[in-house]
Structure 1
Amino acid sequence: MEEITNGGNKNEPQLLKLKCSVQNYDWGRIGYDSRVATLFEKNCGVQIDEKKHYAEFWMGTHVSGPSVVDAGDGDNVSLKVWIVQNPKVLGDVVVDKWGVDLPFLLKVLSVGKSLSIQAHPDQELAGFLHKTQPNVYKDANHKPEMALALTEFEALCGFISSEELDVVLETVPEINEVVGNASANQILTVDKHIGELKEERALQSIFTKLMSVDQEVISEALSKLVNRLTHEKEKRRLTSKEELVLKLEKEYPNDVGVLAALLFNHVKLEPGDGLYIAANEPHAYLNGECIECMAASDNVVRAGLTPKYIDVKTLCSMLTYKQGLPEILKGVPMNQYVRRYTPPFEEFEVDQCVLDQGASVVFPALPGPSVFVVISGEGTMATASREDRVSEGDALFAPAGTEVHVSTDTELQLYRAGVNHKVLLNP
């Protein structure tokens, strides 16, 4: 296959339109209530089932949801195969560092109910898990990730501060009953100024005990907690965390994750806010829609709020047990229309582009590949020798060295995922 298969001079880099994959997980939004569903329908021309859950729209080369190059002549081939046949499209830096494959995976998520309490393994643990349980952990890569809110977006992320943890242990008797008062007192008696490591170990002990107790104990504790909060709701306004507990218990009755949620930060993002999650950090997305980008992996270790396979021992042993609120990214303006979100990970960064009617912008050529997705509106995307009409649901691959001009006669919103520019420019 020639380097360029869909028109233009084969010696010049061109945009490739992609047909992309969808994941129908139970936590996804249903039918046309899901942005993932509408994007997938427009991208692939597939009829949407209005009773089906549409959770994730994938753009990349991962084996669990590979994109396909839309050749326009019936001669379609997977993006991964096309890249292997045309490795120059990745650029030397990417090939030298990650081999002949796309190092990141871009997604759109439509979250209808809470995802599992989970963490993603670091590189060493990912390799071990894939080797020992390949049917569960499908690849050997780590999975740092970042979410950019498209709508108001809620998540649990990281453990609450030591001060907040003290309050929880003093005011939620149901947790003390489960883990034991002696364990709770470990936390409450730690000197906060000299006992950070000791407090981390005490937190790990409490969390591990909580996640490991018998189902009967959890069911009894949750029954008490829900009854107590239901009665207190008649007398006072519940906190957002208490309201969340009642919501989670309805979604996942008798699940230990409902109690565990009290130990995590409840984060609320506005559209345009970003949240990044490193390896071994606990989190759970709760509600809303977002752009998500990550290293090219699908490794997830779960321990609550899910009907899927859980691995409590691995999760409890792998976590960092760092406490405090996560950093919220606001993006750095690149120009009037583009904001860049750069997490502390090598594999990826994301640009958000919002064009007004009649506006245009240039994405400069980079020494690495990019993937674009159009979220709303329509317009044109042009390289030096070719122009493509694009609209909602279009996904495109841009080879290394491609300068892309975007213009619109309506409003247009798109996102670009690429390798972290710090790695590309300072290999």
Structure 2
Amino acid sequence: MEQSQIQNHNLEKKRRRVLNKPLRLRCSVQNYNWGILGNKSHVARLFSLNSGSHIDPDESYAELWIGTHESGPSFVDDQFDCLNSLKEWISKNPDVLGDQVLKKWGGELPFLFKVLSIKKALSIQAHPDKELARALHKSQPSLYKDDNHKPELALALTEFEALCGFISLKNWLGGADAEQWLPVNEMDKNHELEAVLESIFSQILLSSKDKICQSLSKLKWRLNLEKKKRQLTDKEKLVLRLEGQYPADAGVIAAFLLNYVKLNRGEALCIGANEPHAYIYGECIECMATSDNVVRAGLTSKHRDIQTLLSMLKRRQGFPEILQGLSLNQYTTRYLPPFEEFEVDRCILPEAASVVFPSVPGPSLLLFISGNGTIGASVPEEQMVEEGDILFLPAYMEFTITSESKELHLYRAGVNSSFFQAY
């Protein structure tokens, strides 16, 4: 056999070995100004451990991205493929996605996995459905980076606060946070009930800067007077916090019309297409369809596309469902959103405990949040895993995780089980 043939044979052997084991990834970080500073940020610590980078104590660390989106790609950490992004590697080895995923989404990983560390509220925003995403990407590709929708799930790592969806009209009219704080015209009361809040929401976001400044000045004055007479509601306290972060921003007043959601660790919130929301504070695991499309309208210094947001909003009212997850075994909880692209497993293992993740027909991403242990897949050797490790696992790979620390805490993202059951 010639030397070149021997080299090609050896390269192919190495490639087959890579395809039969978990693949280690180096991932990207986003330093948005709403992120938590330095060592206090989960994102900073995980990124530092994953990449070997120094943590800047004065830098905001907002999002750790795990996946194939071009705005924050992951890279294969392997001597054989060290220069490849995960997207490039998958394009060379499409079978790792499994037949059904490959048929549905082509050579793309259909989900994007993140960790968020939030000290300052994110914008009031919504994510377009597929049809609108295609139109926005075509007309404004520099602003809307791709043509995909972005349903998402936020799973709390700490106590977590968010605004999500319109409050019910009944609760608004009967609550202490009612119209005394809002610039409402008499004509609004004659609209159909289902459109009242949307109409008021539109009025607020489209108001002039001067009018918003006047309204916020009156609101602060009234609330400071009210504080002397009674305990402010959680929503009123939140609005004062938001005004401190975003003075003269219409989103501060608009927040009165959205549900204020507080998640405990291990609880999750689903956000569908065209649903108004804003993450306020805390740290979470986030999973979504592979997209970076955001239509913003308030609580931001970035571009606001108010007319687009108002045209796309869902009118659904009422408090959103909080997901507690489904127990798979004594260590693992699964969160199943109503979106076919993804699901998330949360696994917390005490020392010396093991758990088996069965073979599934699609790819998985593993993120180790704390502790250390081993992973054994469908190959003889085990690999050590620890905090900051991030792995890609091909379709049809059963694997076992064993904890060697007091607690090993990890998350798995994969294609939603319901997608495969439909076949």
Structure 1 position 424 matched with structure 2 position 420: yes
1:190 matched residue in structure 2: none
Corresponding position of 1:191 = none
- Deviating above 6 A after TM superposition, structure 1's stretches of 4 or more consecutive aligned residues are 1-8
| Matched residue, 2:345 | 351
Task: Report the secondary structure of 1:77's partner residue.
Answer: coil
Deviation at 1:89, TM superposition (A): 0.1
1:399 aligns with 2:394: yes
Contact residue 6 and residue 71 of structure 1 kept, 8 A: no
Quote the Cα distance in structure 1 between the aligned partners of 2:396 and 2:82. 25
Deviation at 1:199, TM superposition (A): 2.0
Give yes or no for contact 2:197–2:257 (8 Å, CA) kept in 1: no
Q: Would the alpha carbon gap of residues 4 and 15 (structure 1) be closer, same or farther in structure 2, given more than 3 Å must change?
A: farther
Which residue number corresponds to residue 59 of structure 2? Answer: 52
Which of 114, 126, 129 is matched with 2:133 structurally?
Answer: 126
CA distance in 1, matches of 2:64, 2:30: 7
Q: Secondary structure at the match of 1:422?
A: helix
1:4-15 alignment runs, 5 A limit = 10=17, 13-15=20-22
Q: Which amino acid aligns with 1:182?
A: M
Indicate which of 180, 183, 196 corresponds to 2:185.
Answer: 180
Query: What residue in structure 2 maps to residue 241 of structure 1?
Result: 235
Question: Which residue in 1 is equivalent to 2:278?
Answer: 284
Task: Say whether the 8 Å CA contact 1:8–1:14 is kept in structure 2.
Answer: no
- Equivalent-residue separation in structure 1 for 2:158 and 2:30 (angstroms): 20
Shift in Å, 1:131: 0.4
Output one character per residue of 1:137-196: Cα deviation in whole Å (capped at 9) or x when no partner. 000000000000010001000010111222369844341xx342322x236xxxxxxxxx
Corresponding residue number in structure 2 for 1:362: 356
Amino acid at match of 2:149: H
Question: Which residue number corresponds to residue 322 of structure 1?
Answer: 316
- The answer on whether the counterparts of 2:177 and 2:235 sit within 8 Å (CA) in structure 1 is no
Match of 1:22 among 29, 41, 56: 29
Classify the secondary structure of the residue corresponding to 1:201: helix
> Offset at 1:231?
1.7
Cα distance, 1:74 vs structure 2: 7.7
Give the residue type in structure 2 aligned to 1:414: L
The TM-score, its normalising length taken from structure 2, stands at: 0.94
Q: Distance in 1 between matches of 2:45 and 2:332?
A: 24
SS of the counterpart of 2:341? Answer: coil
Which of 405-414 and 165-174 deviates more? Answer: 165-174
Partner Cα separation in structure 2 for residue 106 and residue 3 of structure 1 = 34
Contact 2:326-2:335 at 8 Å conserved across structures = yes
- Pick from 223, 245, 251 the counterpart of residue 245 of structure 2: 251
Aligned to 1:159, which of 157, 163, 166? 166
- The total of aligned residue pairs comes to 414
Amino acid across the alignment from 1:407: T
Alignment correspondent of 1:86: 93
Q: For the structure 1 residues 260 and 239, does the alpha-carbon distance in structure 2 shift closer, same or farther, using more than 3 Å as the test?
A: same
CA-to-aligned-CA distance 1:252-298 (integer Å, 9 cap, x gap): 00100000000011000000001000000000001110000000000
**CA distance change for structure 1 residues 69 and 144 in 2, over 3 Å: closer, same or farther?**
same
What amino acid is aligned across from residue 18 of structure 1 in structure 2?
Answer: L
Q: Which residue of 1 aligns with 2:70?
A: 63
Q: How far 1:34 moved relative to its partner?
A: 0.6
Residues 377 and 391, structure 1, Cα contact 8 Å, conserved in 2? yes
Question: Secondary structure of the equivalent of 2:274?
Answer: coil
Distance 1:340 1:87 in 2: 26
One-letter amino acid of the counterpart of residue 344, structure 1? P
Q: CA deviation at 1:12?
A: 5.8
Note the residue ranges of structure 1 that are not aligned, 5 or more in a row: 188-197
Judged with a 3 Å threshold, the aligned counterparts in structure 2 of structure 1 residues 408 and 219 are, in CA distance, closer, same or farther, namely same
- The Cα offsets for residues 302-322 of structure 1, whole Å up to 9 and x where unpaired, read as 000011111000001100121
Gaps of 5+ in 2: 1-7
Supply the distance in 2 between the matched residues of 1:6 and 1:413 (Cα, whole angstroms): 34
TM-score, with normalisation over the residues of structure 1? 0.93
Residue of structure 2 equivalent to 1:108: 115
| SS of residue in 2 equivalent to 1:10 | helix
CA distance in 2: counterparts of 1:402 and 1:264, whole angstroms:
43
Pick from 258, 263, 266: which aligns with 1:264?
258
Q: Structure 2 vs 1, CA of residues 362 and 237 (structure 1 numbering), >3 Å: closer, same or farther?
A: same
Partner of 2:124: 117
Q: State the Cα deviation string for residues 84-108 of structure 1 (Å, max 9, x = none).
A: 0000000010011111010000000
Q: Is the 8 A contact 2:34 2:122 kept in 1?
A: yes
SS of the equivalent of 1:210 reads helix
